[in-house]
Structure 1
């Protein structure tokens, strides 16, 4: 969000081209329509908009509006049934797209499964799982729950943390994180960090005793029918998965994550992740009433319009890669795209305003979006975004570098060359092409 998003949006746009009411119940009067079962196959159950309480013509207008605002893929589900698709979905449903920080929520789910399995204690110091002597005592005292709630205490610098992930050029994410200075006591202060979530993926990997993506594929993706060939999830030069971003996944698979959440973690006859963990993950924390375990929760938080019901939450990524879940309306909305608005809050507001009008009968109109942000708020964060000591540390220089980890060698681990992790056709934000090694749904 903010200044760094605006700048990077211009870069992505230049390199990619694909042809205030009170919060509460929304008083849906549409009655009970059919409920659809989830599927681990390539197709999903559908229903007509009228069956699920929408007006077809008005819903088509909502989808057209989203497409006009750079939403490249849109899927709307009611009671688990797909009732609406964007006009470009036939082209884009199977194309892997970088969901950026929405990756954090997927990392949270993998951590939750490890916790459910008894392999990861959320309140144990992460040093319990890391090699002896790796990091100092302060860093080793951080817990997985601290990482999940963005209260690790690590210094943050959004732009600098992101730069070295381009081309997967980081030498060793875990070591880099363990060298980031601690500026607050763990658990005391919310500070949105990318490096902390990279550290979380490393901790989960150590706790489960196998590569992070291998565990994620078997325990999360396989039950949902998300195949290993569908997506690309970037890893650093020593093979460790980025936890904070850089999962390039087809929209149809991304939507399945929303359906899993809407079903309280159950997929068919399998409880993939416990409802207990999801309840914690989707509840606000003491340090940020808008944040759970790497999810944004509650109306007025992140891109969630203020007029949505109180139980709403979202998976949120740069340039508006979202899954919105509105349990009160039994509604899941997934969209991906490239910006489409000057303010992240404006487009979702106007989309859901139109979606409310597409119900039959319509839900109350919240009125047009009114920008109340202060432009100076973004300017004040610029200096924090450009902490060059953190960038130098990731490259192996200066006081923020981990001893023995540089662009040449990182703690003696086998290391690949920079920019070689991605399969053919995958670059930065998208995977395209006919090469059989290029991920995607075909």
Structure 2
């Protein structure tokens, strides 16, 4: 782990002295007097100068350099599918597989949509249809696929301790563990941001499609986008099931392709990868949370959104601010990764709570760089009072359950064995160089774009 930290430090230091690459101008068709580009499945996206898509070069560069001073290790700005702006650290970080944390949840949503498009899964069905006989009690089996997509399963939440055993990693079987978590509310009645909820969804999806989740993902989603199997690492628990809540480590250049897919309403060139019908559902507010659709955050003032952003904004949101920001009305997509970078006068709790500060200040500068500024300047970010209750993020019963102890444990499933199935040893799933934050190192088995 020390070697990984050292590599990250060296990577960041090197990035600070790397300037933005000279942008090559792509040939494209004009739309409304501005250049438009086509999405591409090869390594290089089509590019345009900022002026060709309605930006002022100097002010756009200032916005990107601002982001670079705020722990944004990679920033990419696309308009009309054209890459028009890159952060000062991108030359070093573009190809490095980076943990996008809870943005992984949105990738799971895309995959559920693709399975739904193919008639392989019913969003309204209780998960009883997809679970093995006898697994889980009647209450848990009554949870619907849509409940899992909208985070309304009713499961008790302890966000940090739910995810901790995946980070270590010692989870025996995260889906079975989810079925041991008590329900605080009846399914479908209340929003509760559960990590185990999405691990269960990934398992249900795998059961519905009848093949390993990553095999389906590679063939149906990543191959068409030009994302190679060697580019990324998506962690599995010790039973071999893919995590849904986090731990997709993917290079920013590939992460941006997922943003472009969303920005193009599920189309990739001439191919409709994901139906517009599913995306309409995914981008619509759920009955219990006006900020949340199908594992996507939607609307201004939600999650890490600045309150002044356009009403149609949709985002993925991962710990430390790993985001895709899609604004259809402006044909604008921003991807960034990094380690927080927001500023608070209220210490660590303020940094964790007030993640909107950095997007607020960045998008002020980004919109100011647009020749026809679509949003009046809202002024500097005003920090709200601290409301964060750290106690709500932690519940030791999630940790005890891994050892088969406590009220959240599932009978016959613990760190040593789960439902009489063999378990891999901790850490054996990860390729060389992959640990918690990123995949780094010269080993040819280490994921990343090469």
Aligned length: 418
In structure 2, relative to structure 1, the CA distance for the partners of 1:404 and 1:109 (3 Å cut) is same
C-alpha separation between the residues in 2 aligned to 1:415 and 1:131? 19
Does structure 1 retain, via aligned residues, the 8 Å contact 2:39–2:260?
Answer: yes
Q: CA deviation at 1:16?
A: 4.5
Kindly provide the CA deviation profile for residues 164-213 of structure 1, in whole angstroms up to 9, marking residues without a partner as x: 01133200011100100011110000000100000000000000111111
What is the 5 A alignment of 1:369-380?
369-375=380-386, 377-378=387-388, 380=389
C-alpha separation between the residues in 1 aligned to 2:381 and 2:68? 22
Further displaced range: 156-165 or 396-405: 396-405
What secondary structure does 2:249 align onto? strand
What is the 5 A alignment of 1:234-313?
234-313=235-314
Which residue of structure 1 aligns with residue 117 of structure 2? 116
Kindly provide the CA deviation profile for residues 134-167 of structure 1, in whole angstroms up to 9, marking residues without a partner as x: 1111101101100000000111100110110113
1:366 aligned residue (354, 371, 377): 377
Which residue of structure 2 aligns with residue 354 of structure 1? 365
Q: CA deviation at 1:420?
A: 1.5
Which residue of structure 1 aligns with residue 431 of structure 2? 423
Which residue of structure 1 aligns with residue 67 of structure 2? 66
In structure 2, relative to structure 1, the CA distance for the partners of 1:58 and 1:407 (3 Å cut) is same
C-alpha separation between the residues in 1 aligned to 2:410 and 2:45? 47
Q: CA deviation at 1:65?
A: 0.5
C-alpha separation between the residues in 2 aligned to 1:361 and 1:345? 24
Q: CA deviation at 1:13?
A: 8.8
1:393 aligned residue (391, 398, 401): 401
Could you list the runs of 5+ residues in structure 1 that have no partner in the other structure? 1-11, 20-29
What is the 5 A alignment of 1:200-219?
200-219=201-220
Does structure 1 retain, via aligned residues, the 8 Å contact 2:360–2:381?
Answer: no
Q: CA deviation at 1:363?
A: 4.1
Does structure 2 retain, via aligned residues, the 8 Å contact 1:146–1:152?
Answer: yes
Q: CA deviation at 1:31?
A: 4.8
Q: CA deviation at 1:369?
A: 3.1
In structure 2, relative to structure 1, the CA distance for the partners of 1:128 and 1:362 (3 Å cut) is closer
What secondary structure does 1:164 align onto? helix
Does structure 2 retain, via aligned residues, the 8 Å contact 1:168–1:421?
Answer: no
Does structure 2 retain, via aligned residues, the 8 Å contact 1:167–1:421?
Answer: no
Q: CA deviation at 1:373?
A: 2.2
Which residue of structure 2 aligns with residue 37 of structure 1? 38
Does structure 2 retain, via aligned residues, the 8 Å contact 1:36–1:81?
Answer: yes
C-alpha separation between the residues in 1 aligned to 2:209 and 2:120? 6
In structure 2, relative to structure 1, the CA distance for the partners of 1:13 and 1:439 (3 Å cut) is closer
Further displaced range: 79-88 or 412-421: 412-421
C-alpha separation between the residues in 2 aligned to 1:193 and 1:357? 37
Does structure 1 retain, via aligned residues, the 8 Å contact 2:308–2:375?
Answer: no
Which residue of structure 1 aligns with residue 448 of structure 2? 440
C-alpha separation between the residues in 1 aligned to 2:313 and 2:399? 36
1:414 aligned residue (405, 409, 422): 422
Q: CA deviation at 1:361?
A: 3.9
Q: Tell me the TM-score normalised to structure 1 length.
A: 0.92
- 1 or 2 for the larger relative contact order (CA 8 Å, sep ≥6)? 1
In structure 2, relative to structure 1, the CA distance for the partners of 1:319 and 1:15 (3 Å cut) is farther
Which residue of structure 1 aligns with residue 162 of structure 2? 161
Which residue of structure 1 aligns with residue 147 of structure 2? 146
C-alpha separation between the residues in 1 aligned to 2:84 and 2:159? 37
Which residue of structure 2 aligns with residue 49 of structure 1? 50
Q: CA deviation at 1:118?
A: 0.7
Q: 2:325 aligned with 1:317, yes or no? A: no
Kindly provide the CA deviation profile for residues 51-85 of structure 1, in whole angstroms up to 9, marking residues without a partner as x: 00011111111111010111110000000000011
Which residue of structure 2 aligns with residue 81 of structure 1? 82
Does structure 2 retain, via aligned residues, the 8 Å contact 1:70–1:340?
Answer: yes
What secondary structure does 1:165 align onto? helix
Q: CA deviation at 1:122?
A: 0.7
Q: CA deviation at 1:278?
A: 0.6
C-alpha separation between the residues in 2 aligned to 1:205 and 1:421? 18
RMSD of aligned C-alpha atoms?
Answer: 1.6
C-alpha separation between the residues in 2 aligned to 1:35 and 1:78? 8
Q: CA deviation at 1:364?
A: 4.3
Q: 2:192 aligned with 1:181, yes or no? A: no
